[in-house]
Structure 1
Amino acid sequence: MKRIIFVLLFYALIFQIKAQAVFRSEDVFRVESLTWYGLNFTLAQLVGPFDNIKYSTDKDAAKLRDHYFRAWNDIVIQENPKYNVAKFYKKKFVDYDLSEVERLNALINPEKILINGIAPRLTLEKIQSAIHNYDTKGKSGIGLVYVVETFNKLLKKSIIHVTFFDMSTKNIIFLKTMEANPSGGGLRNYWAKCIHITMTGSSERWARWKKEVTPKRKK
């Protein structure tokens, strides 16, 4: 009986260790599934004139937060064949969870969304702090979120941090910063182009990124 109890405890311990396994950067390229957490605008600053959105009017800035931030997130799901996360990031399965970006984006102060100048660069510490605000609901695995630094109308470019994180620890395990140039008609489509370019650019660089983090075999 003691032997049976010992064996059961041993396997329970092994199971617990596996359940608490920490993902590393190379696992981003090894695993076959991930969770898409959308576009996080909590650290974003939008520069320049955004159609009829005015710098001084909180109501207009709130429209960016309440309508367009959601629209740029929704387009990834609504136009999935074009914004195919699984295809661009070489995964067999992708779970979509926008509940956290919807919650966090809704808390953004409209007064801090629009600026008419140079947007300060984001640090890794600030991005990590934003990820720690996520409620992953006890899920494990690897999450992917686009942390938007800026949509800059004056320079006609976006800066988006492609951020992979361990859903259990909420620690960033792999991050790449991508720039893109917007185009298209209408405010939604104009900046959605940057989202698509970020995805296609990630796909084009995937093999190179994988090589950067794959441990070299000893000869």
Structure 2
Amino acid sequence: MKKFFIAGLLVLSFVQSYAQNTLADVFNGKAKVVFLGLDFTHAKYIGSPGFTDPNAIQNQHMVSWNTLIEAEPKKFSLEKPLKLRADQYSAKVADMIKQNKNANVADNIINESYTLTEDQARKAVSKYALSEKEGVGVVYVVESLNKTLEKMTVWVTFIDLSTRKVLLIEKVEGKAAGFGFRNYWAGAVYKINGNIGSDYYKKWSQAAK
């Protein structure tokens, strides 16, 4: 009997450690939130004069745009936009840096409009190999960097890391701004974060109730 009791406790402990997270858990402080970074594998680069060095974008800037999320939390953290506690939030972008090795910048520089559908973004997320298994992950599935309109468009996606279930997905834009190529598009990420706080947080938190 004692052995069965102990085994039962172990099973219960395992189940609880990988319990499903909900969107409500994010906004009521129960779930830890991990900013996973930016996925560029489905991105288009609109306005060819603005993207003259695809090799540098793929091998240098994609890494830099992600590492800034960890290296410069005052600018790129989601803690403030999502009103998270410090002990509730972390940023771990290694998986997206690895994911972006599958991107192809040179073949995706275009001069016409482009839309990544919600279904396509969801499908991309479903194929991720993620090292994080607990809490809720947030990833920006990048639709486009549009030099013509000076903006970046992403699908902001919340993922239950224990089940890979998408809890919320919404398209958000950010105005590009900054000196130099890297900072110009990093500025768009900064704006997206700010727009989440000013334009989306209230809607998302109320919808989660």
- Partner residue of 1:43? 42
Structure 1: state its 5+ residue gaps: 55-59, 215-219
Judge conservation of contact 1:50–1:187 (CA < 8 Å) in 2: no
Match of 2:20 among 16, 22, 25: 22
Structure 2: state its 5+ residue gaps: none
Deviations 1:40-79 (A, max 9, x none): 101110100354x33xxxxx32221111111211222232
In structure 1, what residue type is equivalent to 2:100? Answer: N
Matched, 1:89 2:88: no
CA distance in 1, matches of 2:71, 2:20: 33
In structure 1, what residue type is equivalent to 2:151? Answer: K
Choose 104-113 or 146-155, whichever is displaced more.
Answer: 104-113
Q: Percent identity?
A: 26
Alignment of 1:1-219 (within 5 A): 2=1, 4-30=2-28, 31-51=30-50, 53-54=51-52, 60-91=53-84, 92-93=86-87, 94-119=89-114, 121-137=115-131, 139-204=133-198, 205-214=200-209
CA distance in 2, matches of 1:141, 1:32: 5
TM normalised by structure 2 equals 0.87
In structure 2, what residue type is equivalent to 1:131? Answer: V
Post-superposition shift, 1:80? Answer: 1.8
Choose 70-79 or 100-109, whichever is displaced more.
Answer: 70-79
In structure 1, what residue type is equivalent to 2:73? Answer: N
Evaluate the alpha carbon distance shift between residue 178 and residue 11 of structure 1 in structure 2; reply closer, same or farther with a 3 A threshold. Answer: same
CA distance in 2, matches of 1:33, 1:90: 12
Deviations 1:97-142 (A, max 9, x none): 22211111112123333111111x2223222222223222362211
CA distance in 2, matches of 1:8, 1:184: 59
What secondary structure is seen at the aligned counterpart in 2 of 1:86? coil
In structure 2, what residue type is equivalent to 1:8? Answer: I
CA distance in 2, matches of 1:138, 1:196: 24
What secondary structure is seen at the aligned counterpart in 1 of 2:143? strand
CA distance in 2, matches of 1:82, 1:138: 23
In structure 2, what residue type is equivalent to 1:48? Answer: G
Q: CA RMSD in A?
A: 2.0
Evaluate the alpha carbon distance shift between residue 96 and residue 180 of structure 1 in structure 2; reply closer, same or farther with a 3 A threshold. Answer: closer
CA distance in 2, matches of 1:190, 1:140: 33
CA distance in 1, matches of 2:59, 2:43: 14
Judge conservation of contact 1:145–1:164 (CA < 8 Å) in 2: yes
Q: How many residues align?
A: 205
CA distance in 1, matches of 2:31, 2:8: 29
Judge conservation of contact 1:182–1:190 (CA < 8 Å) in 2: yes
In structure 1, what residue type is equivalent to 2:96? Answer: V
